[in-house]
Structure 1
Amino acid sequence: MTRTAAAPTRQPSSERQGLTLAVVLLAVFVVPTSISGTAVALPAIGADLHAGPAASQWVVNAFNVAFACCTLVWGSLADLIGRVRAFAIGAAVFTAASLACAVTPNVYVLDTARAVSGVGGAAIFACGSAIISTAFDGAARAKAFALFGTVAGVGVALGPTVSGPAVDLLGWRWIFGLHALALGLVLVCLPAVARTAGETRTGAAPRLDVRGAAVFVLAMLALTYAIVQGSQWGWTAPGTLGLLVAALALLVLFTVRSKRTPAPLLDLSVVRDKAFLAYCLVPVAASFGFVTQLTYLPTYLTTVAGHSPSSAGATMLLLTLPVLVLPLAGAKLVERGASARGVVLASLGFLVAGDLALLLLGPDTSTLVMAAPMLLTGAGMGLSAGLVDARALALVDPAKAGMAAGFLNTLRLGSEAVAVAVFGSAVAGLVAGRQATGTAPAAAYDSAFHALLWAMAAVCAVLALAVVALARGERRA
């Protein structure tokens, strides 16, 4: 697909571009922080609001489900009403919902407010990507997206670190209060951003495909709810299978409608671009190869290797540090003439190698031996973080950048939910099966974890091959 040139606009000053990037990155930092950081507060929330484990867990799940359901809708809406305007609405929704979380009288109001926060967070990610895509060009765009990936990674990694002391010193309600304060600052600065980020709209009447949006949201709701509950109900339970079948039927209906509607929620011509689709698959590979380790490796370290929680947390820095430093390195390599496709493929190779190398992990494995596999896996995530967004959106007509960003981020979060749920359910099933034969709990978890490492490496390898095949027709970076 040939990228259509945007309408000529006066080039904004570097100061205004810097402000635009700072505002977007602040909002982007808050969203993943609110996901990983809120999990730390769940015990305090449950105790204070007298909530059971299921109701408390939906403080996190409600956000994730709403985020996954609404990202594509926000991206398409941004193309119609303007990216900055849609970003502002999302930031306002997130701010109001965070305030509601801070003053909630019970866990049910909190769960509802977190779902509303997820709706706002979806707008921040989808529209933030589109703003960067249209406000920056060339090497500046690559660097901006690298910072986007870095900040998102920092938010995930530092969420527990920031939220833990806040809970201890101020109470769990202040976690949401701090989110509201940060997004309030974003809202104050947005008028200046609107003058900097050149808006690109479709030029048509601002009408959203409401029926298509409803079908897509219902499909994602059924899919994500099945994934969230599948590990509890069982993957073959009637409720889980019924939701999965409903999700599949709704997605088929959505595809048929997209083909027949003049202005669909998702223009299928965007997805038919093989190179664009190739870049969209990279975060899916990272979900299986990296996010699963980030989620379940701490449990292995404490359950099997005998690490204390603080020691396990410190060891996990080996996995997260590359995510904090390598996005900019990847952008710099491309700026100096390296092929963007080559950098992305190298990152996928690191994911596969890191997962396989972690098979060396055992109850008595030293941190020094673990360092190489964990750093490799982190490099696989960090090297392409931001770069895939920059390359994918560079392939799309600027008028459809919001839609494309929404699709990319829907795949990103949706695949994370799938990978984490499937990995967790599979580990639990394997552990139960081995314990039934008399294997000790620690040994059972050790064996199950290694079996799943093989599976995750295989998934990453298959996706890497798919990326290679799809990206063959891309223009040289």
Structure 2
Amino acid sequence: MAVLLAVFVVPMSISGTAVALPRIGAGTHAGLAPLQWVVNAFNVAFACFTLVWGSVADVVGRVRAFAAGVALYALGSLAGAVAPGVLWLDAARALTGIGGAAIFSCGAAILSTVFDGPARARAFALFGTVAGVGVAVGPTLSGVLVQGLGWRWVFAAHAVAVALVLPALPTISRTVPALPAPPAGTARTGRGRIDVPGSALFVLAMVLLTTAIVQGSQWGWGSAGVLGLFLGAALVLAVFAVVERRTAHPMLDLGMLRDRRFVGLCLVPVAASFGFVTVLTYLPSYLTAVTGRGTGAAGLLMLLLTAPVLALPMLAARLVTRGVPALTLIRLSLVCLVAGDLALTLLSPSATVLLLAAPMLVTGAGMGLSAGLVDGQALALADPAKAGMAAGFLNTLRLGSEAVAVAVYGSALATVLGGRIADGIGAHPGAAGGADRTAEVTDVAAVTDRAAGGDFAGAAELSGATDRHAFTDFLAHAYDSAFHSVLWGLAVVGAVLSVAIAFLLRDGGRPRQTGA
């Protein structure tokens, strides 16, 4: 129960914060880049440290690592609630992400250690269900808190909720058995020292990669800064691979990646990141800015997307116990993700709740069918002595891909939206800097920055347009067009990933027998 309570709170940091972004931007007067980092700082930190925490847990103990994560999460959430500015808030969100990484990777390792067989399947179904509850109530609770008390209470609520786990830590320590000993004749990879060089290299690579993606729309995708960051990330990852092969106690045992069943299952959350998490993060802005709904109404509508994530993990577990192949449900989840993203392209500024329901429910089903089920299937393939490492790798791909997907979506949306605004801003008197081309370019970038964050009123005021109502309508149509273009891209990415996963899991997912 203590593990599940902590797991319940963490997804609220992703889904709930998205609803608060427009108010945070207006309250702190933040530009698009620092506002994006309110979400991205959590995701990047989570992605960077999940694998690190998994490895650390196999060395110092899973309960100790889990306890450290709970404390960091509570501290980071409290710091976010009292943040005096957006940069402080970004730093607090990064600290919260580090704590959340420990909660997820160490919590999953604890469940994998305590339970086995059908009990493990039920435990991970509850794991997925509770995570789904956090995702489901995050937008709704945040919408109510933002509208009634202000955006700071979103983070205060996270701090209070996760602090309730702290009194249960002594009980967890007595319940969880000692780390299993490695098989005779094998290296004690999971019980050695902490791989500090490997951890540092991995964190550096993830920071470089995600920063390049986030800044792509700001600096230009072909700019020296962005290309340098991508190149730096690739070089650091190459060095990381060399270091991990040569160290006696690696943070990541690369031998785990020889099992294509394990790799295929770990890629399923990647598909969910592009097909579901991006929509979860940015659809609230679409609902408030383009369709004109309030934050409370948008939060309630998001239940259509998140309710399947609440209901379906336990249903999937029951179906598996009754003989339905787990891989069949996983493949069905991938189909739902792609179909749901395609159906979302039917949305329009005048979309009714009935029109919103079908694509949102289907997209949510794509996430819900695989949540928890994938974790149990993947960790069942891992050496029990390396359960922390395996859980860390799985959740690194999950949260790393979420960070990348959200950053790609935000950058792509800003890039496409900037093009739409540049094409039409000249038709509005007073906007675009008049005859001064330099001022025009500056105005378009500034207006795009505000509009991409959902602040159309601020963007219209910044533009200098004489008819601000007409200019606001223009921004809404431009945002709607950019939103649909990016959705088509998400559907393509989801289809490609689905084909790759099906290839890895072909023939029942049995690994190819090679000499490797």
- The CA distance in 2 between the partners of 1:128 and 1:343, in whole Å, is 24
State which drifts further: 96-105 or 467-476.
96-105
Q: Report the more deviating stretch, 96-105 or 81-90.
A: 96-105
Letter in 2 for 1:195: R
Indicate which of 213, 216, 223 corresponds to 1:230. 216
Q: Matches of 2:160 and 2:115 in 1, distance apart? A: 27
Contact map agreement 1:83 1:199 (CA 8 A) in 2: no
Residue correspondence of structure 1 range 147-158 to structure 2 within 5 A: 147-158=126-137
Partner of residue 118 from structure 1, selected from 97, 106, 121: 97
Q: Deviations for 1:403-438, whole angstroms, at most 9, x for unmatched residues?
A: 111111111112112222222322333333344444
Is the contact between residue 217 and residue 415 of structure 2 (CA under 8 Å) also seen in structure 1?
A: no
Aligned match of 2:400? 414
What is the CA–CA distance in structure 1 between the aligned matches of 2:418 and 2:85, rounded to whole Å?
A: 35
Counterpart position of 1:15: none
> What's the CA shift for 1:339?
0.4
Higher Cα radius of gyration: 2
Q: How many angstroms apart in 1 are the aligned matches of 2:416 and 2:89? A: 35
Structure 2 distance, partners of 1:304, 1:100, is 32
- Name the SS of the counterpart of 1:457 in structure 2: helix
Distance 1:352 1:75 in 2: 31
Moved more, 218-227 or 103-112: 103-112
Question: Partner of 2:106 in structure 1?
Answer: 127
Q: CA deviation at 1:442?
A: 4.1
Residues 18 and 281, structure 2, Cα contact 8 Å, conserved in 1: no
Superposed displacement of residue 123, structure 1: 0.5
- In structure 1, the partner of 2:260 is 274
Deviates more, 1:437-446 or 1:59-68: 437-446
Displacement after TM superposition at 1:56 (Å): 5.8
1:331 partner amino acid: A
Greater CA drift, 380-389 or 161-170: 161-170
Report whether the alignment pairs 1:345 with 2:331: yes
Q: CA, structure 1 residues 359+276, in 2 after alignment: closer, same or farther (shift >3 Å)?
A: same
Q: How is 1:426-437 mapped onto 2 (pairs within 5 angstroms)?
A: 426-437=412-423
Q: For residue 466 of structure 1, what is the amino acid of its counterpart? A: A
**Residue 231 of structure 1 contacts residue 421 of structure 1 at CA under 8 Å; is this kept in 2?**
no
1:268-307 residue pairs with structure 2 within 5 A?
268-307=254-293
> 1:77 — aligned with what?
56
Instruction: Give a deviation string over 1:265-305, Cα, whole Å, max 9, x none.
Output: 10011122100111111111111111222233334444555
Contact kept in structure 1, 2:198 and 2:243, CA below 8 Å: yes
CA distance in 1, matches of 2:266, 2:79: 34
Q: Deviations over 1:114-159 (max 9, x none)?
A: 3222211110011011111111122222222122222222223322
1:170/1:438 CA distance change after superposition, 3 Å: closer
- Cα deviation for residue 224 of structure 1 reads 2.0
Question: What is the CA–CA distance in structure 2 between the aligned matches of 1:369 and 1:47, rounded to whole Å?
Answer: 30
Deviation at 1:466, TM superposition (A): 1.1
Distance change >3 Å, CA 463–CA 86, structure 1 → 2: same
Give the corresponding residue for 1:249.
235
Is the Cα contact below 8 Å between 1:84 and 1:199 reproduced in 2?
A: no
Question: Counterpart of 1:4?
Answer: none
1:282 maps to a residue whose letter is V
Match of 2:488 among 454, 464, 467: 454
| Structure-2 residue corresponding to 1:329 | 315
Counterpart for residue 387 of structure 1: 373
Shift of 1:329: 0.8
- Please state how far the C-alpha of 1:226 moved relative to its aligned partner: 2.0
Distance 2:296 2:158 in 1: 26
Q: Read off the aligned partner of 2:391 and give its amino acid letter.
A: A
Q: Does 2:405 correspond to 1:371?
A: no
Cα distance, 1:41 vs. partner?
Answer: 5.3
Consecutive unaligned residues in structure 1, runs of 5 or more? 1-21
Determine if the alignment matches structure 1 residue 468 to structure 2 residue 502: yes
RMSD: 2.8
Is 1:398 the counterpart of 2:384 in the alignment? yes
The aligned residue for residue 261 of structure 1 is: 247
Partner of 1:139: 118
1:337-388 CA-to-partner distances (Å, cap 9, x unmatched) read: 1100111001111112222233333444443233222211111111111111
> Take 1:304 and 1:114, find their aligned partners in 2: how far apart are those partners?
27
SS in 2 for 1:266: coil
Q: Distance in 1 between matches of 2:41 and 2:231?
A: 21
The structure-2 alpha-carbon separation of the partners of 1:335 and 1:86, relative to structure 1 and needing over 3 Å to count, comes to same
Equivalent runs, 1:17-166 vs 2, <5 Å = 22-38=1-17, 52-53=30-31, 58-102=37-81, 109-166=88-145
Give the TM-score normalised by the residue count of structure 2: 0.80
AA in 1 matched with 2:405: A
Single out whichever of 102-111 and 263-272 deviates more from structure 2: 102-111
- Once residues 365 and 98 of structure 2 are traced to their aligned partners in structure 1, the CA distance between those partners, rounded to angstroms, is 31
* Structure 2 residues not aligned, in runs of 5+: 183-187, 426-473, 511-516
2:340 is the counterpart of 1:361: no
Distance 2:91 2:278 in 1: 27
1:146–1:386 contact (8 Å) kept in structure 2: yes
Q: Residue 352 and residue 63 in structure 1: after superposition, are their counterparts in 2 closer, same or farther (change >3 A)?
A: closer
SS in structure 1 of the partner of residue 506 of structure 2: helix
Aligned to 2:300: 314
259-268 or 50-59, larger mean C-alpha shift: 50-59
Q: TM-score, normalised by structure 1?
A: 0.86
User: 3-state SS of the aligned residue for 2:343?
Assistant: helix
Tell me the distance in 2 between the aligned counterparts of 1:273 and 1:32. Answer: 29
Q: Tell which deviates more after alignment, 383-392 or 33-42.
A: 33-42
Letter in 1 for 2:260: K
Q: 1:169 to 1:437 in 2, by over 3 A?
A: closer
| Residue of structure 1 in register with 2:453 after alignment | none
